[in-house]
Amino acid sequence: MKSLKNKLRNNKLTVGTWVTIGHQSVIEILSTAGFEWITLDMEHSAIDYETAFNLIGHIQGNGMEALVRVSKNEEVAIKKVMDAGADGVIVPMIKNKEEAIKAVSYVKYPPIGKRGVGLSRAQKYGIDFMGYKKWTNNESVVIAQIEHIDAVHNLEQILNTDGIDGIIIGPYDLSASMGYPGEYERDEVKEALNKVVDTTIKMNKPLGFHVIESDYSKLEEKIVEGHTFLAFSLDFFFLGDRAREEMKKLNTNDKR
């Protein structure tokens, strides 16, 4: 299987999913579905650093790449998950080129970035720092989350930032930044979302989206639109939607 970095470089379709439940069983179950990568959500879940450290290893041990959506664009938050061995990060609320440069600098070592040196799982606990340094400069992934109207206005600069491998749209916060949280059908919000899609495709950059519904037809819509970096639903929707669907059948035909 080609690496995620290679697919992003060539703007090829790649599909992963999102995890908020901090247990290795969730990783092991999802690994049987064929996802190429899993994102651990440390911004909007109860997953803490120690849990993420362990789950990164389980993701990679089950043949997938491990991304982390960090809590914020902050040096310690990013370098700690990279030291834990993450293949890359999704950085929320990137609004301009300066913030994109900061995100990259927290992942890469000098002279490319300004990440401090620590020895942990990523560096094989001190015996392969030079190998890891080469890897992180060439293979680590940095995805900018576009979820503010300012980012829409500055999108070309963000996409052209060295070290940014692609973007992923955050539609909830984007609509909220315009004063209409969750109102995706408003003309103003649709116009902003369409601008992100059109600009990214025009620049031939990886266009990402998190399809929340556990419904393949929704994923297919995004593929047809030109999205190539796709997160397909998340753990609790895959679990809950199937349970609700089957129980609905029971309740509809209940003969008790």
DSSP assignment of 77-138, as one string? HHHHHHHTT-SEEEES---SHHHHHHHHHHHSPTTT--PPP--STTTGGGT-HHHHHHHHHH
Contact 223, 31 (CB under 8 A): no
Q: Which two tokens stand for residue 56?
A: 């990164």
Q: Tokens for 45?
A: 């879940």
Tokens of 195: 């601008």
Asked if 58 is an active-site residue, the reply is no
For residues 73 and 171, what is the distance between their CA atoms, to the nearest angstrom? 18
- Single out the catalytic residue among 23, 44, 58, 210: 44
Where would I find the H helices in the chain?
A: 4-9, 24-30, 49-61, 75-83, 97-107, 129-139, 149-153, 155-159, 171-177, 187-202, 216-225, 235-252
Euclidean distance between CA atoms 70 and 82, whole angstroms: 10
Residues labelled as active-site residues: 44
